[in-house]
Amino acid sequence: MNITGQIIDETGMPLLGVNVLVEGTKRGAVSDFDGNYEIKASKGEVLVFSSLGFTTQSITISNNTTINVVLAQDSQELEQVVVIGYGTQRKIEVTGAVNSVSAEIISKAPVSDVAESLQGQIAGVNIQASNGRPGEEANIQIRGVGSLSPGSLGPLFVVDGIPFQGNPNIAPEQIESIDILKDGASAAVYGVRAANGVILITTKKGKQGQLKVDYSTYLAVQNITSGVPLMNTNQQLFSDQAVNDADGTVNNTFFLNPNALDFDSDFVGDVQNDNALIQNHNLNISGGVGDLSLNINGSYFDQEGVLINSGFNRLTTRITGQYTKERLKIFTSIGITDELRVQEPFALLEQAVAQRPFQPPISNIQPVNGVVQLGVGTGQPELLSFLTRLLNDEDERRIRSSNIAFSLDYEILKGLTYKVNLGRNNWNFRRNFLRPQYLLFNVQGNFVPGASREDAILQESFIFTQRNTIENSLSYNVDFGNHNLKLLALTSYEQFDSKNLSTGVIGLASNNTPVLGQGQEPINPTGFDITNKLSGLLGRVQYNFDDRYLLSASIRRDGSSNFPTSNRFKVFYGISAGWNVSEEPFFKNANLDFINNLKFRGSIAEVGNQTIAGTNPTPFIPTIESGVNFIFGEAENLAFGQIGRRLVDPNIQWETKISRNVGVDLSMFSNKLNFTADYYLNDRKDLLLEERLPPSTGTSAPRDQSFRSRVVNAGNLTNQGIEIALSYKDQTSYGLKWNIAGTFTRNVNEVTDLNGTSRGFSGGTPVFTVGNVDNTTFLAEGFEAGAFFLLQNEGVIQTEEELQAYQQIVPDARIGDIAYIDQLTVDTNGDGIPDTADGTINDDDRVYAGSGQADFEAGLSLNLEYKGFDFFIQNYFSYGAEVYNGARLSAYINGRHEEQFNQWTPQNPSSNIPARRAGNVSTASTRARSDFFLEDGSYWRIRNITLGYSIPKDALPNFFSSFRVYATSQNPFTFTEYTGFDPEIGGDGIFTRGVDQLTYPVSRRILFGVQLGF
């Protein structure tokens, strides 16, 4: 029979596009503009009414042929549980800046590091690949630069309630959700380590009911899609001849290599591994019976590197179990991970760029038992051996880690709960680094010592770490009338122990016996032990009146062994408040039913950072070190000696962040539209830095810079910014479900104090294989951390008149060189403002040239679902960052860049490409302090495109519950004016952020996958 009716909402408005389905069949209908529907069904069958933003309703058909339905708004969006520090809250109760990401979003990207999958998904969280090396962790910054030390930038990770020392590197498939605490008030409950934000990871748990088995797998290929343009053989010979002509020297290429024209080698291409594979397998078993639930997950990830001699694989298993019996709840999680990283040789791309194309390719030069006999065509064996020797190195790094979390909750009285939280994290690292014997003989059969490694070198390094955590807490939750009060009191203790050991041998019986026992000469072992202890007391009050007025206040006292007794303990506080305007009676009476929630939030807090760069766990204590032996007694015997060579500041203390935040949350149209905006201002003071000591302190040592600095509190900085997140989800009358989400972040970072230093603490060296390379980035008052300060170029000197004028400043300048501006650096009238140039070009002429930090960044994603098909596309846009193109600089230094084919010569006098010089590494045109190699690093990247299809359940065999196939392209398109490998340069987050050191490039990936449910 025909069933008809009208579907309306609670206000009486007709609902368009409501799906009406006869349960268990394919028969369905959709309501029209007036909410009317018509469908064929029989008595006893069940009609299911569903629409996005409304609660699904099921009605069994009786004798009536007219069924009218009122759908209630689904409040699930506001009732969603959000994980916060030491507890959970309903979304409507949250007063801090907290963002949640579900497993569905995390699983979209085929990556080993879960952070990569979050890029552009969360406003205020900047995620950049530090490089594209397999298994490498992404660079994460929450609300800007968190410190002035690269080792102190990352957030605190907490997995199932247990803090980690760093990134826990959990397989994405094992994660149920990620909650990010961005503002200080939310993070203040973690006190000393919360200055850079907190990332809370909740792993998957078993669910009550029938045993469920899920298996997923994918296979991907990777490729490098960009690079640095280099000259071919003909261009190289022409360019080399121009250098000889300018210097009046003879070109000896064909004397050294008579067969130079027989080759046109691509060494950069030779060290790349085209179509490198990724494979991933994941098995998840979940179920629960009675009071016990269990989840078991096993995951295997294997990635070949897009550069040869590199790769990463990881095997990880996690078991979580939960037992609930009346007032008792016990939870445990055990994760075991085994990783193997094979790392490419040091500066591999830089060495490849340096090679001349008229040399024979790498495939022609293969050692046999460590001996290489060069064939005809190799003119300069030393240059080529720098690369070919590296390719025989073996650098394997194995990590075995385990993490255990255990918690017990017992409700002593109604609302009063005791909880104990125990955790242990073990992380064990072993590096095996073999540089085999490499004996090279030239075409004449003569041994070439400068191109050889006469003795193999084997080094092994070990790190053993363990972190133990114990927390005890009492919480009380009580309702009285419209009031809700939650109280928390907690004590915590953590101890982190680390043991480091390194040893090795020089000379092996054979390259085929790379074990320490086969060594000929030992390398002195080195080692040190580290212990860090943390203790904390926490109190928190959360108050909720009728879901209208919300208040949260916490105070935490922390102590750390990293600091002297006088500064060991400090109190951190956090206060946040919220006002749900939409819950007010006057708002509900204003007939604004299209607004589901309108909330204003505000917070202020003080949080700390105890992380200190370097390996010394107690930098406030002068240490005595070995290795300085001395002559003793009349017999002049050599005695074991120790000495104190480090100066310390005995009064160092915490880094402190004062965080302020105001925000607004808005949900409209049955929670289809969600909008969040935040403004924050974070002041950071007493930042820990390594202060360079003057030579007069006596701590300088030849070829050893480790004693020339001390850790001090020497910096302040600010971060202020805005964050906007907007999303809308709906479905059409013909069944298309769609969801679009966007984020916008702007952060302004400024160093405000460096303890009297206006500019110093430099870094950002763009190349490694040449000596005396200038730094490019600095800490400077009034500018971003790690800002570029470079000489400003005026272009190429093209005429004799220009040359004569410039030689007044640089007497040895030559026509064809780059000219630099002699900045105003001398104060002649005593007003404190430079008004005159000093007549020379030096580091005082460096000027601010931007930084690797973007002016703003944005993300945009679209998700579509229609009749089993799903489509997802994610975009990421970064604007305003500068990138120092070290790849271009390296190619210029080695005379290999394609632009140099069009260099300035007397025959090409209008060229804006500087003339090459013999020994040009030391010339002004190819020094790293030049802004000639600085480029706009803005880019728009399509991060992910996925198309999938889920086979209908009734078309599957009975033992399948789901079957989905999909194809994904990651990083398929990047739109940028940057001319290097890739504009996404995270680096160390400060000094090398935006410095392209021929970094391992980010690759494009295309994959095919299958997801099965049983």
**How many Å separate Cα 366 from the centre of its chain?**
37
Query: Which helix (H) or strand (E) covers residue 948, if one does?
Result: strand 939-950
| pLDDT tens-place string over residues 577-620 | 999 999 999 998 888 888 999 999 999 999 988 877 555 667 78
Q: Is residue 52 within 8 Å of residue 735, measured between CB atoms? A: no
Model pLDDT for residues 552-573, shown as the tens digit of each residue: 999 999 999 888 888 899 999 9
Is a pLDDT exceeding 90 seen at residue 170?
Answer: no
**Backbone angles phi and psi of 233, in degrees to 5:** -60, -50
CA dihedral of residues 221, 225, 231, 234 (deg, nearest 10): 60
Q: Which amino acid is at 606?
A: E
- Parallel, antiparallel, or unpaired for β 709-731 and 673-692? antiparallel
Q: Decide if 707 contacts 644 (C-beta within 8 A).
A: no
Residue 429 pLDDT class (50, 70, 90 cuts): very high
Phi, psi angles (nearest 5°) of residue 390:
-60, -35
How far apart CA 578 and CA 185 sit, in angstroms, is: 12
Q: Quick check: 498 and 530 in contact, CB under 8 A?
A: yes
Residue 350 has pLDDT above 70, yes or no: yes
| Of 332, 340, 344, the residue nearest 300 (C-alpha) | 340
Contact 682, 143 (CB under 8 A): yes
Name which of 353, 264, 384 is nearest 885 in CA terms.
353
Task: Write the CB contacts of 91 (distance below 8 Å, at least 6 apart in sequence).
Answer: 77, 78, 79, 80, 81, 82
CB 917 within 8 A of CB 246: yes
Two tokens, residue 92: 């409507």
Q: How many CB atoms neighbour CB 585 within 10 A? A: 9
- Kindly report, residue by residue over 281-315, the tens digit of the pLDDT: 999 999 988 889 999 999 999 999 999 999 999 99
pLDDT tens-digit map of 82-116: 888 888 888 888 888 888 888 778 877 777 787 77
Instruction: State the burial class of residue 210 (Cβ atoms within 10 Å of its Cβ: 0-12, 13-18, 19+).
Output: exposed
Residue 647's SS3 state is coil
> Among the listed ranges 425-439, 587-601, 641-655, which one has the minimum average pLDDT value?
641-655
The pLDDT score that the predictor gives to residue 12 is: 72
Q: Which of 42, 46, 36, 44 is nearest to 68 (CA)?
A: 36
Three-state secondary-structure class, residue 456: coil
The Cα–Cα gap between 28 and 533 comes to 63
More confident position, 165 or 428: 428
Give pLDDT, residue 948.
Answer: 94
| HEC profile of 853-899 | CCCEEEEEEEEEEECCEEEEEEEEEEECCEEEEHHHHHHHHCCCEHH
Cα(15)–Cα(159) distance, rounded to whole angstroms?
43
Are 499 and 464 in contact by the 8 Å Cβ rule? The answer is: yes
> Are the CB atoms for 885 and 226 separated by under 8 Å?
no
Residue 77's pLDDT band (cuts 50, 70, 90): low
Taking residues 890-917, report their average pLDDT: 94
Instruction: Answer whether residue 10 shows pLDDT above 80.
Output: no
Residue showing tokens 């064996």: 381
Three-state DSSP class for residue 994: coil
CA distance 3 to 63: 10
In three-state form (DSSP H/G/I as H, E/B as E, the rest C), the secondary structure along 207-228 is CCEEEEEEEEEEEEEEECCCCC
397: pLDDT strictly greater than 90: yes
683, 750 Cβ separation under 8 angstroms: no
Please state, in angstroms and rounded to a whole number, the distance separating the CA atoms of residues 53 and 59.
19
**Length in residues, the chain:** 1014
Distance CA 962, CA 904 (A): 66
For the stretch 821-857, pLDDT in tens is: 999 888 788 777 887 888 899 999 999 999 999 999 9
Q: Model pTM?
A: 0.89
Contact 71, 51 (CB under 8 A): yes
Q: What are the Cα distances from residue 658, in Å, to 180, 399, 719?
A: 18, 37, 10
Report pLDDT digits (tens) over 358-391. 988 888 777 777 787 765 556 667 777 888 888 8
Percent of the chain, pLDDT > 70?
A: 96
Structure tokens belonging to residue 803: 């040359």
% of the chain with per-residue pLDDT over 90: 53
Q: How far is CA 930 from CA 614, 727, 844, 956, in A?
A: 30, 44, 13, 64
Measure the CA–CA gap between 1014 and 689, rounded to whole angstroms: 55
Per-position b or e across 331-355, b if 16+ CB within 10 A of its CB: bbbebbbebbbbbbbebbbbbbbbb
Q: 281-290 pLDDT, tens per residue?
A: 999 999 988 8
In this predicted structure, the answer to whether residue 543 has a pLDDT above a threshold of 60 is yes
Tell me: pLDDT of 246 over 90. Answer: no
Mean pLDDT along residues 412-430: 94
Q: Which of 307-311, 343-347, 440-444, 882-886 has the lowest mean pLDDT?
A: 440-444
Neighbours of 462 (CB within 10 A): 14
- Mean pLDDT over each residue of the chain, to the nearest integer: 88
3-class DSSP assignment, residue 505: strand
The mean pLDDT of 877-883, rounded to a whole number, is 96
What's residue 280's pLDDT? 95
What pLDDT, on a 0 to 100 scale, did the predictor assign at position 23?
84
Mean pLDDT across the stretch 898-903?
Answer: 95
pLDDT at 72 over 80: no
In this predicted structure, what is the pLDDT of residue 690? 79
Q: How far is residue 270 from each of residues 264, 273, 377, 435, measured CA to CA in Å? A: 12, 8, 18, 21
pLDDT (tens digit, 9 = 90+) per residue, 505-540?
999 988 889 999 999 999 989 888 888 899 999 999
For the stretch 655-681, pLDDT in tens is 899 999 999 999 998 889 999 999 999
The secondary structure of 406-444 as a DSSP string is: EEEEEEEETTEEEEEEEEEEEEEEEEEEEE--BEEE-TT
Q: What is the pLDDT of residue 267?
A: 93
Token couple for 925: 């045109």
Q: What's the pLDDT at 22? A: 86
Amino acid code (one letter) for 353: V
Give the model confidence (pLDDT) of 112-158 as tens digits: 787 777 888 899 998 888 888 998 888 889 999 988 887 788 899 99
Contact (CB, 8 A) for 186 and 448: no
Helix segments in 296-434, DSSP class H: 348-354, 381-390
Calculate the CA 220 to chain-centre distance.
22
Residue type (1 letter), 340: L
Question: Comparing 71 with 76, which gets the higher pLDDT?
Answer: 71
